[in-house]
Structure 1
Amino acid sequence: MKPPPRSGEPAPADSGLADEAPFAELRPLAPLRRRDARAPAAVGPWPLRLYVRAWDAMLGSLPVLLLAVLAGLSWWLVRSTPEPEADAPERALRHVPDYTMQHFAMSAYGADGRLQHRLAGEALRHYPDTQTLEIDAIRMVGFDTGGQLLRGRAERGWSREDGSELRLNGKVIIQRERLLSSNAPADDLGAGRLEFLGERLDVFPERKTLHSSLPVTLRDRRSEVHGGSLDYDHVQRVAVLAGGVRGRFLPPEDASRLAPLATDAAPPASAASAALP
């Protein structure tokens, strides 16, 4: 037995099958209509339909138009961008001096502070393209730790900027002085003064060597030797002559028959005024 409904509540409907409508009386739902994208174009006057279709076509082709515009802008930027200038070839340096000196003297010192060699001359020209020096009326002095030294002079000189090589040209005279601290007798060939005369001599101060591929004359107070080339080691005091070597060797009493050494004769006025120590 069902409880009575509360006041204010509707009476529940009877859920019995006898009270329901028969299935034959149920009407089917209407089918869903497919939405046609062109439906708006089917309504309204024909100008409106044309406008809608044109708008749809433009929207469909918009990505292609944007890509075309971007491609055109890229091509324009490439054409408008200036090409990088080709690296200009380095300007060849002319063989002209960048500085000169007159009546100069230059000295080089070793790590111990001792004077190693010195250059002097009437004029000096520095060439930056070859990093070399040209010297007129050159005079040079080279020292060693044993107290022995080389003196030299020539009409012209050529030197590397670092002083590793010196070329003497024109009436070259180089003198190897005796050992100042040596106890050897003055007539000893190894300890006495020796001269090198020629038209060209190459001096290497660091190695303390001389070289010439042109005829050279070696002489001291008792001998005179001529050769077609020369290699001289100042440290070992060894001279090697080659190419038609000939010479004269005289006893001490006949030494006056040889030409006097350059230091015994009066030096030219241009050299005497700037003689090195």
Structure 2
Amino acid sequence: MKDRLASGVSIALLAALVAGTWWAADYAKRAVKEDPPRRLTHEIDSFVEQFVMVRSDEHGMPMTRMEGDRLEHYPDDDSSEVTQFRAVSQRTERPTMTATSQHARMDQDGARVVMRGDVQLRRLAGQGRPELDIRSEEVTLLPDEDVAYTDLPATVVNGTTRIQGRGMRYDNVSRELKVNEQTRVQIVPGSTRPAAPSARQPSKG
């Protein structure tokens, strides 16, 4: 009889201890306020003045240098806004190409740059080819592919040929220039007439 009583008391105390521990844990969980999940907004989390970024190939050789007066990073979409953007594509087997704009948006870890405001692309003269000058209000630059394109109006000066149109794509690897909708083509008088880029077929610029 005494053994049964002692066992009953032990079981009751154990049950009370378990119940008390559960209640204390539940109370503590309800009493402590958890921080809500962080809501990412399009706000600056860091910035760099006079930033410089150099992209290299698999052998560690510099391919493209990008810089600007100020870079602001936004964590919600991992993009960066740059003021006074400048870029130089300089590979030994390709013509040197420079790009400048008042503003630029970099994303995809710098693999895509949307340049805005007084955009100018210049392929320097060399290897028997004249200088190529492209101007528009917005141009998308793919530094790794060495390609630039826009759907907006653009003015292209290729040697002695001046082309105005809407939509342009230039591939610095193949040297192909394509103007989608030509509205005006002007040849400098007295010069040898070069082949102007076709609206349908790309030309070697």
Q: Deviations over 1:218-270 (max 9, x none)?
A: 2224222233222221111112222x422214255269xxxxxxxxxxxxxxx
For the pair 1:199 / 2:143, whether they are aligned, the reply is no
What amino acid sits opposite 1:172 in the alignment? V
The 5-angstrom pairing of residues 149-228 of structure 1 reads 149-160=96-107, 162-179=109-126, 182=127, 184=128, 191-228=129-166
- 2-structure distance, mates of 1:105, 1:70: 67
Q: Deviations over 1:4-24 (max 9, x none)?
A: xxxxxxxxxxxxxxxxxxxxx
- 1-structure distance, mates of 2:76, 2:49: 18
- Structure 2 residues without counterparts, runs of 5 or longer: 193-205
Residue from 59, 75, 82 that aligns with 2:19: 75
Answer whether contact 2:164 2:185 (CA < 8 A) is retained.
Answer: no
Among the aligned pairs, what percent are the same residue? Answer: 21
Structure-2 change in CA distance of 1:91 and 1:235 (3 Å): same
Q: Deviations over 1:165-221 (max 9, x none)?
A: 112100111011223xx2x3xxxxxx1111111110011111111121222222224
Q: TM-score, normalised by structure 1?
A: 0.58
Q: TM-score, normalised by structure 2?
A: 0.75
- 1-structure distance, mates of 2:8, 2:45: 68
For the pair 1:253 / 2:190, whether they are aligned, the reply is yes
> Secondary structure, in 3 states, of the residue corresponding to 1:145?
coil
Structure-2 change in CA distance of 1:245 and 1:238 (3 Å): same
For the pair 1:134 / 2:81, whether they are aligned, the reply is yes
Residue from 27, 32, 49 that aligns with 1:101: 49
Answer whether contact 1:223 1:247 (CA < 8 A) is retained.
Answer: no
Root-mean-square deviation (Å): 2.9
- 2-structure distance, mates of 1:132, 1:83: 38
Q: Deviations over 1:11-39 (max 9, x none)?
A: xxxxxxxxxxxxxxxxxxxxxxxxxxxxx
Answer whether contact 1:133 1:161 (CA < 8 A) is retained.
Answer: no
Answer whether contact 1:139 1:152 (CA < 8 A) is retained.
Answer: yes
Bigger Rg, structure 1 or 2: 1
More strand by percentage? 2
Note the C-alpha offset of 1:161: 7.2
